[in-house]
Amino acid sequence: MKKIIITGVTRGLGRALTEELIRLGHTVAGCGRGAEGIMDLRLAHGAPHSFEVVDVANPTKVSIWAAKALAPGDTPDLLINNAALMNDPAPLWKISADEFGRLMDVNLKGVANVIREFAPAMVAAKRGVIVNLSSGWGRGVSPEVAPYCATKWAIEGLTKALAEELPKGMAAVPLSPGVINTDMLRQCWADGAASYPKAEAWAKAAAPFILALGAKDNGQSLTVPGFDYQG
C-alpha cells in the first residue's frame, strides 16, 4: 500500500484518480480549492485518507497542509501535482493580466510550492516518484490557449530539471494525461470534448500506469497509454 499526495482532487481527473487509487487500496492525502468537493471526499473516505481545502498558489497554506498530511517520519511514495486552471479561450492579447497571472500562480508556482513542502522527506529517504501533470499542450500548441500552453511547457522543463537533481532511486516525470472529456476540455473545446473518454474511464488505466512508475522513468515525458490525441 502506498502513501499518495495529490492536488486538485475535487473534480475531473484528480477526483477520478483519487477514487481509483483508494479503490486499489492506497492511502491518499489530497487537496483542492472546492470546499464542497472536499467535504464529499471526507464523508466518503475516512482515515487513513485525508482531504483539505488548499489553494496551491498560496505557499503558506500549502505548508500548513503538508504539516497535517505527513506525520513525523512519514514519506510519500508518490506525489502527484494535478491542480491546474485553463484560460478562457482567446488570443493572447485579449487575455487579462489577472487571468494570465492566475494560471501562472496555480499551474506553475503551485507545483513548486507543493514540491517544496513534500519533496524533502522523499529526498532524505532517497525514494518516491513525483508526477507533474503536463499536457499535449506542453509539447505542442493550439491557438487561444497560450497561457495554458506556457504553463505546461514550463512544467515539462521544470520536471526534467528536477529529475537531474534527485538522488538515485527517485523519479520526476512530466505526464500528459491524454485527451479526456472533463470540464477543462469542455471549456476550451466545447464541440469536440464529448467524443473523448470520461475521467472515470481514464482513471482505470491511469492509476496502474502511474503506480508502476519508478526510477527507470526519471525525466521521461510520458503519456497515459491509450489516451493520446488522435486528431
In this prediction, residues 146-151 reach a mean pLDDT of 97
For the chain, give me the number of helices (H) and strands (E)? Answer: 8, 7
In this prediction, residues 159-180 reach a mean pLDDT of 95
Q: What is the pLDDT of residues 62-92, one digit of tens each?
A: 999 999 999 888 999 999 999 999 999 999 9
Task: Kindly state the DSSP code that residue 198 receives in the 8-state scheme.
Answer: B
Q: What is the pLDDT of residues 103-140, one digit of tens each?
A: 999 999 999 999 999 999 999 999 999 999 999 999 99
Least confident of 39-48, 77-86, 192-201, 220-229: 192-201
Instruction: Calculate the alpha carbon distances from 46 to 29, 51, 74, 132, 139 in Å.
Output: 11, 9, 19, 26, 38
pLDDT for position 199: 85
Apex 174 CA angle, 108 and 227, nearest 5: 115
pLDDT for position 231: 38
Q: What one-character-per-residue DSSP string does 14-62 give? A: HHHHHHHHHHTT-EEEEEES-HHHHHHHHHHS-TT-EEEE--TT-HHHH
What predicted TM-score, i.e. pTM, was given to this entire model? 0.93
pLDDT for position 228: 73
pLDDT beyond 70 at 164: yes
pLDDT band of residue 179 (cuts 50, 70, 90) is: confident
pLDDT band of residue 178 (cuts 50, 70, 90) is: confident
Q: What is the pLDDT of residues 29-62, one digit of tens each?
A: 999 999 999 999 999 999 999 999 999 999 999 9
In this prediction, residues 14-43 reach a mean pLDDT of 98
Secondary structure of 139-156 in the HEC alphabet?
CCCCCCCHHHHHHHHHHH
Q: How buried is 80 (Cβ within 10 angstroms: 0-12 exposed, 13-18 middle, 19+ buried)?
A: buried
Q: Hey, what's the cell of 45?
A: 473516505
Enzyme catalytic residues = 148
- Does residue 16 contact residue 202 with C-beta atoms inside 8 Å? yes
Average pLDDT, the chain: 92
Task: With residue 116 as reference, give the H or E element that holds it.
Answer: helix 110-125
Give CA–CA dist 89/198, Å, rounded. 22
Domains, the chain, in order of start with CATH, read: 3-223 (3.40.50.720)
Give CA–CA dist 31/15, Å, rounded. 10
pLDDT for position 73: 85
Q: 141, 178, 179, 135: which is closest to 159 by C-alpha?
A: 135
Task: Kindly state the DSSP code that residue 218 receives in the 8-state scheme.
Answer: T
pLDDT for position 230: 42
Centroid of chain to Cα 23: 19
